Structure 1
Amino acid sequence: MRFLAAALLVVAATATAQPSATAEQDSARRVRADVEFLSSDALEGRDMAARGYTIAADYVASQFRAIGLTPAGDNGGWFQQVPFRRASHAKPPVMTMTIGGKEVALKDGADAAVRPSVTAKTRNLAAGFVFVGYGIKDKRYSLDDYRGLDLKGKIAVALQGAPSGLPSDVAAHIGSSKADYAAEAGAIGFVEVKRSDGPSESSVGRGGRPMVDWVDASGKAGSIPAGIQLQLSFGNGWAERLFEGAPKTLDAVRRQAKSNSRVGPKGFALRPTIRVEAESKWEDFTSPEVVGLLAGSDPTLAAEHVVLMAHLDHLGMKTDPKPGEDAIYNGALDNAAGVATMLEAARMFAAQPVRPKRSVLFIANTGEERGLLGADYYANHPTVPAQSIVGLVDLDMPLLLYPFTDVTAFGADHSSIGATVAEAGKSMGVAVSPDPMPEEAIFTRSDHYMFVKRGVPAVLLMTGHANGGAEHWRAYLGKTYHSPQDDLTQKIDWNAGARYALLNYRIARSMADSDRRPMWLSGDYFGDLFDPRGPRPSNP
């Protein structure tokens, strides 16, 4: 109760009278100007590391300077250059399966595929397989598919998905961590097979495509757990043959999973072995995070940082457009709008006569569209002490197509930031609505989640479904999202952009001025998993 009272007092102090109509119009005009530049054809879709993205990053840095922020990137500059590597096969890999005592050559891209490696140029490996059920481990839900299995030097074969009955966010986290669990068990490779026997050749072909990841100076890669040297995919026929001579066929495993979805199939050793000879070629390049800082005013709390972030990159341009076809993925709402409203929130911070108690970091991320890569790199290599980052708000794809009256704060039910969002919204007449699509597990699918995994309470704020929002979201996701139609021909409500920026300012200002840092709620799954010793609101 003391924590909640303190939060209410902070919101009351920072949520002053509603801005005048003129001030809102000025704010809307600034948001519009930023979106118009960032989503212009001249920036060619802002693909990570491309010319248009570089221009966009320079623009954001110039705006940070004009606002009055100080550089918080590497070496006293605005940028943190993320070291990326693009890996592709130097020549077709050679894969040979020994099955039933016979060696069989596998056709690359048809029978099976191996992902290129960003950490090893040459691989010549032979290993057996172990079926590991769903391939998951979780103490909270008493799950351990690796119990009693010997994975050392083997390739883990996991069934796609997770048992039913888990919260969608938890299931999504567990599902994305399967390769990590395999590595922890000593596996050198990982395979995930489908839960049904439908066509899978297209997914096999995709398995051998070039891949991009960050690789730091120590050789650590972002998305590849240490120890995992092979990531394989198999066509359905060969996935079934992996189970030849095993206690159960793949078909039997699938039937068991379907009939008893709360308990996954038990694992067992598989008889086939595989030899893989693969050579990767690398292209190293960089793309910047843009980082600005507003220093806090409190002698003690200024050492802590609240983060506002938005991803600057988008999808670039089509490589093979038809004659006369629009080839540019402008990304006006995804996510020029998020960056523009972050910039406007920064202006609101800088315009106040008293600076916030805590310092505030403003970050424009690269590589979100490639798998949250830039945010992941920054979370692992922050330019401020990692333990000083205490809370975060992610501004990703606000749908500024209608006068929103509610927002959805994905992750609000996990931490005290939920109460902060609710009070800031109340000060503006904006409600906070429950997640309208929990099955999508949005909480785990944007840049903020890379910081959650480092123990930082965070939310992703999106405009809500009230006041016609549901229809706008349905139309946007169905026709416009990740298409060249996400451009300035949309009927964008610029006043909604100003209100979204103001709401995010008030949320972040409350977090920055509170006597107590944002906290995971007691008993929360993600807090207990990633920050088990951190403070909780009920603590004295």
Structure 2
Amino acid sequence: MRLLFAAAALVLAASPLHAEDSAMRASANEVRAHVEFLADDLLEGRGNGQRGYDVAALYTASHFRSLGLEPAGDNGSWFQDITFRRASLSGQQVRHGGREVKGVRLLPSVLEERVELTAPLVFVGYGLEAGPFGHDAYAGVDVRGKIVVAFNEQPDLPKGTNSDISAHLGSSRVESAARHGAVGLIVIGSDRYVRFHSRREVTGWVDAKGRSNDLPGDLKARMVATDDAARNLFAGSGQDFAQLRAAAKSGKRLPSFALAGTMSVQGSSTWEEFTAANVVARLPGTDPALAHEHVVMSGHLDHLGIDESRGGDNIFNGALDNASGIATMLEAARLFAQKPEDARRSVLFIALAAEELGLQGASYYVANPTVPLDSIAAVVNLDMPVPLYDFNDVVAFGAAHNSVAETVAAAGAEIGISVSKDPMPEQAIFTRSDHYRFAQAGIPSILLFTGYGSGGEEQWSAFFKERYHRAGDDLTQPINWTALARYAELNYRIARRLARETHRPYWYEGNFFGDLFDPKGTRRTVKP
């Protein structure tokens, strides 16, 4: 049952439990040592499934051990080994009403080398669940055991809608189809969209239970279709495809209805497997009433590895993305280890694999947690700070959605760091890093970037333009090690507050993500 706090109680809850000093404890030399090791050419860009990543994982585990933390991976180890499959399509045949359909492309499967499926079709508009905005494609239709067909466009949302919501909707069709029991999904897009997906390999994890993030639930097949191919699927439905297409391009509300006939799909895929591990450590909490709960500090350990097709410098070192985030986490772990009594809740440190493959290490952890998911009170994610200047503000992605943002503000005030509004809302950063997989499990989560103050805007712009996901993100950059230590100090203080406070963080009342991912959870009635 959802509980509501009165505004007066919120003021008390938001008050600091401890008077904090402003002395910096994080060490510039410590974070520098970690980054210089992890971003060295000898680690070959820490590509998933490559030797450099395994060395980075061993380095991280060894450091956790040196701090006296507990291993919290699988089977009492530091590691949570993940099997990934990279699938390529080797053949397909798609028939509708007994006739072969051209222009429908089956995507490779990481679960079945051979796919055979016959099922009726249901059109579900945009294929999205956006009930608060009057667009719920699955309301009133039964798609269990059926192939759903959807347009790739999005509905027109009210002006001022948070851009994180649009980004979520654009990536949610597969999960929505699976949640409602569909066995197949066809997304209708432009010719360019179909060509792009026709050339793509698909990479996904496969766990010991035979599950995959690529094909959740009962889904057996994902397909893309051109307008010309899709038009034939609507014959006999009593609906005009051209009118529906025009309405979709205008973002208008679309109906959901059954399509005539059945579709038969046959396909085959070839696989390449590789492994990469999440690295997990735990600092036990000291309060018997709270020690079973956890605050997570996470960061992705992987980067893009080596591009053998390039001449010259072909190692993508990922110094800022994300050796600096891992260095931050390791330094925060060191500070916790020095004063473990500061953590009433337990603190979980997770170096995540395969973020660069689509947040897959985080997805795997959420599906196969090494502590109960409902014991995780909050997630603080450390991804790609840009410590190239003396920052004095941070941006908290997720601040609009949950009360972890209030903890960020309180911790920042202790050391003279303010919290600024999102300067790049069009990027929808909240949905683009590992913390989002935890948010999808209903856990209040947040990501911090150094802000645009003190010359930050120019530094961020230059980084994105010249070095992001390029070989230039290396140790030749003028990294400000004192600034990175300050970032580590801030994140340590945030996690420490979360580990101390009696009440867990909450989603805000009426928040789209809270209502979607944690519909029965506790809510805040006000926010500052």
- Give TM-score scaled by structure 1 length: 0.89
Distance (Å, rounded) in 1 between the aligned partners of 2:413 and 2:270: 54
Q: Is the 8 A contact 1:204 1:234 kept in 2?
A: no
Match of 1:288 in 2: 277
AA aligned opposite 1:59: Y
User: Which one of 182, 198, 204 corresponds to residue 205 of structure 1?
Assistant: 198
User: Which one of 388, 399, 403 corresponds to residue 390 of structure 2?
Assistant: 403
| CA shift in 2, pair 1:6/1:234, >3 Å | closer
Deviations, residues 403-434 of structure 1 (Å, cap 9, x unaligned): 11111111122222111101111111111111
Deviations, residues 103-148 of structure 1 (Å, cap 9, x unaligned): 3464xxxx34211222222222234543321112244334322345
Match of 2:115 in 1: 123
Match of 1:302 in 2: 291
Matched, 1:357 2:344: yes
AA aligned opposite 1:355: D
Aligned residue pairs: how many?
A: 516
Alpha-carbon deviation of 1:272? 6.8
- Give TM-score scaled by structure 2 length: 0.91
Match of 2:5 in 1: none
Distance (Å, rounded) in 2 between the aligned partners of 1:422 and 1:131: 46
Match of 1:318 in 2: 307
Distance (Å, rounded) in 1 between the aligned partners of 2:298 and 2:194: 38
Matched, 1:177 2:172: yes
**In percent, how many aligned pairs have the same letter?**
48
Alpha-carbon deviation of 1:488? 1.0
| CA shift in 2, pair 1:81/1:105, >3 Å | same
Match of 1:17 in 2: 22
Deviates more, 1:504-513 or 1:150-159: 150-159
Matched, 1:254 2:253: no
Matched, 1:435 2:422: yes
Deviates more, 1:287-296 or 1:236-245: 236-245
SS at match of 2:507: coil
Match of 1:329 in 2: 316
AA aligned opposite 1:313: D
Match of 1:79 in 2: 79
Q: Is the 8 A contact 1:46 1:316 kept in 2?
A: yes
SS at match of 1:49: coil
Alpha-carbon deviation of 1:242? 3.9
Match of 2:506 in 1: 519
AA aligned opposite 1:426: A
Distance (Å, rounded) in 2 between the aligned partners of 1:103 and 1:538: 57
AA aligned opposite 2:379: L
Alpha-carbon deviation of 1:192? 1.6
RMSD over aligned CA atoms reads 2.3
User: Which one of 217, 230, 246 corresponds to residue 208 of structure 2?
Assistant: 217
Deviations, residues 126-174 of structure 1 (Å, cap 9, x unaligned): 3454332111224433432234545354322211232222432222223
Matched, 1:8 2:15: yes
Within 5 A, what are the aligned runs for 1:86-485? Answer: 86-89=86-89, 91-98=90-97, 103-104=99-100, 106=102, 111-149=103-141, 151-164=143-156, 165=158, 166-194=161-189, 197=190, 199-200=192-193, 202-206=195-199, 209-244=200-235, 247-248=238-239, 250-259=241-250, 261=251, 263-271=252-260, 274-322=263-311, 325-352=312-339, 354-485=341-472
Match of 2:473 in 1: 486
Distance (Å, rounded) in 1 between the aligned partners of 2:465 and 2:107: 31
| CA shift in 2, pair 1:186/1:2, >3 Å | closer
| CA shift in 2, pair 1:2/1:46, >3 Å | same
Runs of 4+ in 1 over 6 A off after TM superposition: none
AA aligned opposite 2:344: K
| CA shift in 2, pair 1:421/1:150, >3 Å | closer
SS at match of 1:306: strand
AA aligned opposite 1:192: V
AA aligned opposite 1:18: A
Distance (Å, rounded) in 1 between the aligned partners of 2:333 and 2:145: 51
Matched, 1:39 2:39: yes
Alpha-carbon deviation of 1:394? 0.2
Matched, 1:528 2:515: yes
Alpha-carbon deviation of 1:314? 0.8
AA aligned opposite 1:470: E
AA aligned opposite 1:46: R
Deviations, residues 73-103 of structure 1 (Å, cap 9, x unaligned): 11221111123233333x32233455xxx83
Q: Is the 8 A contact 1:247 1:268 kept in 2?
A: no
SS at match of 1:300: coil
Q: Is the 8 A contact 1:3 1:516 kept in 2?
A: no
AA aligned opposite 2:300: H
Alpha-carbon deviation of 1:509? 0.4
| CA shift in 2, pair 1:472/1:239, >3 Å | farther
AA aligned opposite 1:72: A
| CA shift in 2, pair 1:480/1:243, >3 Å | farther
Match of 1:497 in 2: 484
Distance (Å, rounded) in 2 between the aligned partners of 1:258 and 1:103: 29
SS at match of 1:113: strand
SS at match of 2:291: helix
Distance (Å, rounded) in 2 between the aligned partners of 1:244 and 1:498: 63
Distance (Å, rounded) in 1 between the aligned partners of 2:225 and 2:323: 39
Distance (Å, rounded) in 1 between the aligned partners of 2:139 and 2:343: 50
Q: Is the 8 A contact 1:201 1:236 kept in 2?
A: no
Alpha-carbon deviation of 1:356? 1.4
User: Where in structure 1 are there 5+ consecutive unaligned residues?
Assistant: none
Distance (Å, rounded) in 2 between the aligned partners of 1:137 and 1:235: 23
SS at match of 1:354: helix
Alpha-carbon deviation of 1:17? 2.6
Alpha-carbon deviation of 1:339? 0.3
Alpha-carbon deviation of 1:282? 3.5
SS at match of 2:322: helix
